[in-house]
Amino acid sequence: MSLIVADTETAFAEEVLAASEPVVVDFWAPWCGPCRMVSPEVEALAEQYVGRVKFVKTNVDETPEVAARYGVMGIPMIGLFKDGELVRNITGARPRHAIEDDLGLKFYAPTKTAASVSDEAKPAAAPAGRPAGQY
């Protein structure tokens, strides 16, 4: 699984604050219905951005000091950390594309190679039995 659990202050410091890559933190609690709804969306994003963005889950009941330090007033709160600093956050359950857009994650998507761009530019093959250009 691509999600890392950081349910202590030490783990949070190691996994989030000391990370060299951008980190998305899902601040949640097991009793929170919206948190359970958004969890699969965060997990899917973690798989999509593996190797480019780290994804961490932090239980606010286990780490109240961390939650207070970052102003978590409602959950789920999903934050983007860069160089140990919280730079963006959103509160409430939302679909994967909204999380991705609101946190600016598409900036970390892989760039297209020249080969993939040239493959996209190729015309589609003619249907079987018809010469190219006659549709």
More confident residue, 122 or 16: 16
Name the residue type at position 67: A
- Res 84 pLDDT > 50: yes
More confident residue, 18 or 124: 18
Are 41 and 99 a contacting pair, CB within 8 Å? yes
What is the structure's pLDDT at 112? Answer: 52
- Res 29 pLDDT > 90: yes
pTM of model > 0.75: yes
Are 119 and 125 a contacting pair, CB within 8 Å? no
Q: Which residues partner with 4 through β-bridges?
A: 56
For 106, residues 6+ apart whose C-beta sits below 8 A from its C-beta are: 100
- Res 121 pLDDT > 80: no
Question: Tokens standing for 13?
Answer: 């410091």
Report residue 108's pLDDT band, with 50, 70 and 90 as the boundaries: confident
Range scoring the smallest mean pLDDT among 36-45, 63-72, 105-114: 105-114
What is the structure's pLDDT at 14? Answer: 97
Are 7 and 61 a contacting pair, CB within 8 Å? no
Are 81 and 19 a contacting pair, CB within 8 Å? yes
Per the CATH hierarchy, to which homologous superfamily does domain 3-121 belong?
Glutaredoxin (3.40.30.10)
Q: How far apart are CA 57 and CA 1, in angstroms?
A: 12
Are 90 and 103 a contacting pair, CB within 8 Å? yes
- Res 15 pLDDT > 90: yes
**pLDDT, average across residues 96-122:** 71
What is the structure's pLDDT at 106? Answer: 87
Name the residue type at position 108: Y
Report residue 22's pLDDT band, with 50, 70 and 90 as the boundaries: very high
Q: Which residues partner with 77 through β-bridges?
A: 27, 91
Active site residues: 32, 35
Q: How far apart are CA 89 and CA 54, in angstroms?
A: 15
Q: Where are the domains of the chain?
A: 3-121
